[in-house]
Structure formats: C-alpha cells, structure tokens
Structure 1
Amino acid sequence: MTSVTVITGAAGGMGLAVARILGPRDALVLADVRRDRLDAAAAALADTGNPVRAVHCDVTDARAVAELFETAAGLGTLRAVVHAAGVSPSMGAADYVMATNAIGTVNVNEAFYARAGQGAAIVNVASMAAHMLPDEIVPLAAFPLAAEDPDAFLAEMTAACAVVPAEARSGFAYAISKSFVKWYSSAQSERFNGRGLRIVSISPGSVDTEMGRLEEQAGAGALVADAAVPRWGTAEEMAELMVFCVGPTAGYLTGTDILNDGGVIASIRERARRRQ
C-alpha cells in the first residue's frame, strides 16, 4: 500500500524542502494556512510520480487537523509526519505565537497518535531558543494543561510571559512555546511507544528562510556571526535531518531533541563558562 507523509508548514521554507526530498518516495499531504502558496508548492511537486494533496489547514483548529489526517488516510498508510508549521516572534502577538506553536503541536501530534500504525514517526520543529531559557523560568508544571485544558494552558502561559516588558513578550512566548515542543516530544515518547510510534523534535538555529530572516534584526544575525559555524543554516540542511528522523534507519531514535544550530548554543555556553 502507498506510504504517506503529512507535512505541515509545507508552503515554503523547511516544510517545502522536506517535501522535495520525500516526494519521490511517498504520497504527500501538504498543509499550510497560506492557501495560494500552498497550491503553488503542490503544483511544483506534481512531477514527483506520487500523489500530492494540498490541504488548507490552521493547526490551532483541532477539527481542521482531523480532516487533514482523514485526507492522508484516503491516500494510503501514514508513515510519517513532519510538523514544521509555526510562527516566529515577528509574526504576531504573544498569544498567537503560543497558540500556533504549542497548541498546534498538540493538535497535530494527537491526530497522528490516533491514526498512525506501528512503525510510524513524527518529528516536531522546536528551536535553539528552547535551549536558551534557564530552567527555572520555564513554566514546566503548566505544560501538561496544553492537552488537558488548552484555555487554561494559554492563560498560564500569558501569566508567565507577563514577567517581561510588553515589547519582549512575543519573543519570550516564542522561546517558551518551543520549550514546550521540546518537552512534549520527550514527555510523550513512552506513551507513543506503546503504539509502536516514534516522536522526536529538532531545534534549528537561524535558518535562511523567509521566516528566519524576519528575526535577523532581532538578534539572530548577531548569533549567526558569533556561532561556531558562522553562517545561516539552509532549509535543505534542516530537511535532511527531519527526513532522517522519520526514516527507517532512525528506528531507535525517540523522545529526544536534536539541536542543529551551527554551534550557536555551544558557543554561548563556552563563552559564559570562560567569563566565570
């Protein structure tokens, strides 16, 4: 039976790069909120030899996500999900950033858990920002609410973000939301394994995509310049790692986060150690 990969955030950037790699191997279901760009991405992949379906989907809408996975089920056997949908601090207010990145992750992963069969895998996109916050300011105790009571979760996250000035809250919400993605991908691994499923996250650094470049003047540019590998990462470099994570040769990989940031976090930590 045809194997199927679902890719969220597939209209551009890392999601589209993943689709270009997997198009010759799997039927693809591409999801994004940007309908025109999504249709263009699907058209560009039409010659891969496998079916390609474009589904307009807001990942914060659980019903829309369920319909996305129904489309995938109609094409064949769900093999993999690459959840690349997300927003950066420059793209909206703190509550929008938190809902998209955290609640969207729960919706996609829970739909995957409900429908996928033995051996399937999902990779979630976190961020190097998840490796920057001190543990003591991450509201970890409230993270389980995201699946139990999303409204209560968002209220708790709003309160957590209120400790920083208003102009910094979108950035703080981004870091917390990606910390949530990293936590969720670890916390759910035992549960997912009970159904023979794997769940992994990757934490990209500054990536040369439209969304990544939005943050260039907000600090990402300086981080790149001072990194062990002093350049922006490419969407293709991130995509190759994601494809590996959901592929058959990574069958022992689950419940962990892979930091793929060109050494930014390593450089920050070593410089901090030297200053002590």
Structure 2
Amino acid sequence: MKNVIVLIGAGSIGQAIARRVSAGKHILLADLKKENADATAKVLSEAGFDVSTASVDIASKDSIKKLVDIATSVGSVTGVIHAAGVSPSQATAEMILHVDLYGTAVILEEFGKVISDGGSCVVISSQSGHRLPSLTEEQNKLLATTPADELLALPMLQLSEIKDTLHAYQISKRGNVLRVMAEAVKWGRRGARVNAISPGIVITPLAKDELTGPRGERYRNMLKLSPSGRAGTPDEIGTVGELLMGTNAGFITGSDFLIDGGVTASYWYGDLVNK
C-alpha cells in the first residue's frame, strides 16, 4: 500500500513543503482549478515524484469528503499539507469565512478520521491572525471547538459583526491556529500530529500581485519597517514545514510558527505601531 501525502493547494509554499517530505511517497495534489493541479503535478512528476491530481472546493464539505475518499483509495494517508485559501484582495468577507475558516475546520475534521498512526499535518495560516486583538476565552473556545457544520452560525462570525475583508481574514487565520490546537488532541488519539505555520509576505505570484495592487504601498511599507527588511521565500517556509512533518518534531503538535521576518514584532512594538 502506498503512503500518501495530500497536498491541498497548488501554490509555491505547499510545493516547497511537499518536495521535502514526499520522496518515495505518493502525492495527491488537489486544487480548486484542475488545470492548476495538473500543471504543478507535471513539474513535480518531472522532478521524480509520484503524483496524481484531483479537484477540491474547500468551501464544500462534500468536496472535501470526496477528496478523503480518493486519498484513502490510493493508500495510507501519512501526511496532509493544507496550503489553499483566499486573501482579502481576492474575495469577499463571506467567501473568506467559508474558505479559510470553515474549509480548514472541515479538512482537519475529515482527515483527522483517516490519518495514519505517525502521520502529520501542516496548515498554512497567516501572520494576519497575529494582528487581531485578543479575543475572550469563550470566543477562543468557540473558534477552536465548535463543530465545522455549526461554525459559521456563531454570532461573532456574522457579517454584521465583521468590519471588512481584512477583519474576516484575520479572524479566520486566528481561528485556524486555535482549531489546530484543539484538533491536535483528537489527532493525538490516532498517534498523529498537526501544526500550523503563519507566514508573512512570501514571494509568490499572489504576493507579487498584492505588492503592486491596491494594498501594495502598505505591504511594501511593512517589509521596509520590519526587522528583516525583506519578504520571505517559499523555501524558507518549506524548511519549517519539513521539520514539523518529520520525526524530529515528534514532540511538537498543536503549535503555530510565526515566520514573518519580524513584521508582527514591529507591528506591536516597533516602527509599524499605529500604521
């Protein structure tokens, strides 16, 4: 039986992690657009990886469950890399909540039912979740533990309470990290681990669009005033993803790793305060 790494999202960060952890395993690469998955699969296949593709809409529980069925038909699911989502410049607040918050909750619930003993998962969240002011203990618990099917009915997530697309994105990414913490308990019962990575601005095609788009000046200023003074690369995120999915991180689960070149530090305590 094959060991399967499920890669959700055909972007650069997910690829960087998959390249580091998938040698000798089968990569099931899923994306909303099949043509994106096929194009990335071709690159990975020509680099020596065993790859198949599927379409998935992570805003749909039925679509995610079909992906789980495909993965388990191929072999034993030993790893999940969830790197799909939408950004504030791409989508409405409602879509962000459905894709980034609800979709992640469903992925963790459904793959948590089939993950193999010794398996692991990395969820790509965002530095934005670290910009949201502190929530109450009760709000944290609701975001972390409310069943996915009931999540979007929470009063705090009603569009009347969401200020704009950035607010929706921030609360979704905070929710991702809290959900990872709660799901780590359930995944642990199967002998598996789950962690999150919260990248800052990493140079990908999407990031290049954002750096030159309506929010571009703000993003460029964030980089300029950060301790590192630059954007990151997918390979830098991939290195941490490799650690978290490997045996050397066997004592790490339910954690979130902020990798943003110090932008968040500067946002709270440095030159980006009040900007």
When the two structures are superposed, what TM-score results if normalisation uses the length of structure 1?
0.89
Structure 2 counterpart of 1:145, one-letter code: T
Residues 37, 229 of structure 1: CA spacing in aligned structure 2 closer, same or farther, 3 A cutoff?
same
**Does 2:252 correspond to 1:253?**
yes
Partner of 2:140: 140
Partner of 2:174: 179
Partner of 1:203: 198
Between stretches 100-109 and 139-148, larger displacement belongs to: 139-148
Q: What SS does structure 1 have at the residue aligned with 2:173?
A: helix
Distance between the aligned counterparts of 1:174 and 1:180, measured in 2? 10
What's the Cα RMSD here? 2.3
Partner of 1:80: 79
Q: What SS does structure 2 have at the residue aligned with 1:152?
A: coil
Partner of 1:149: 150
Residues 40, 273 of structure 1: CA spacing in aligned structure 2 closer, same or farther, 3 A cutoff?
closer
- In 2, are the aligned partners of 1:97 and 1:170 still within 8 Å (CA)? yes
Residues 23, 195 of structure 1: CA spacing in aligned structure 2 closer, same or farther, 3 A cutoff?
closer
Residues 197, 15 of structure 1: CA spacing in aligned structure 2 closer, same or farther, 3 A cutoff?
same
Distance between the aligned counterparts of 2:244 and 2:41, measured in 1? 23
Partner of 2:161: 160
Segments of 5+ residues of structure 1 without an aligned counterpart are none
What is the correspondence of 1:257-268 to structure 2 with a 5 Å cutoff? Answer: 257-268=256-267
Q: What SS does structure 2 have at the residue aligned with 1:133?
A: coil
Deviation string 1:96-125 (CA, Å, 9 cap, x unpaired) is 011110111012111211111211111111
Q: What SS does structure 2 have at the residue aligned with 1:180?
A: helix
What is the correspondence of 1:98-109 to structure 2 with a 5 Å cutoff? Answer: 98-109=97-108
Structure 2 counterpart of 1:159, one-letter code: S
Distance between the aligned counterparts of 1:51 and 1:273, measured in 2? 45
**How many residue pairs are counted as aligned between the two chains?**
268
Structure 2 counterpart of 1:224, one-letter code: L
Partner of 1:110: 109
Partner of 1:6: 6
Q: Give aligned-pair identity as a percent.
A: 29
Q: What SS does structure 2 have at the residue aligned with 1:45?
A: helix
Partner of 1:269: 268
- In 2, are the aligned partners of 1:228 and 1:264 still within 8 Å (CA)? yes
Segments of 5+ residues of structure 2 without an aligned counterpart are none
Deviation string 1:224-245 (CA, Å, 9 cap, x unpaired) is 1111111111112112211221
Q: What SS does structure 2 have at the residue aligned with 1:200?
A: strand
**Does 2:54 correspond to 1:55?**
yes
- In 1, are the aligned partners of 2:102 and 2:152 still within 8 Å (CA)? no
Q: What SS does structure 1 have at the residue aligned with 2:74?
A: coil
Distance between the aligned counterparts of 1:108 and 1:25, measured in 2? 24
Distance between the aligned counterparts of 1:240 and 1:193, measured in 2? 23
Partner of 1:120: 119
**Displacement of 1:50 after TM fit?**
4.2
Distance between the aligned counterparts of 1:31 and 1:228, measured in 2? 36
Structure 1 counterpart of 2:197, one-letter code: I
- In 1, are the aligned partners of 2:225 and 2:272 still within 8 Å (CA)? no
- In 1, are the aligned partners of 2:82 and 2:123 still within 8 Å (CA)? yes
**Displacement of 1:24 after TM fit?**
2.7
**Displacement of 1:272 after TM fit?**
7.4
**Displacement of 1:212 after TM fit?**
2.3
**Displacement of 1:19 after TM fit?**
3.0
**Does 2:183 correspond to 1:188?**
yes
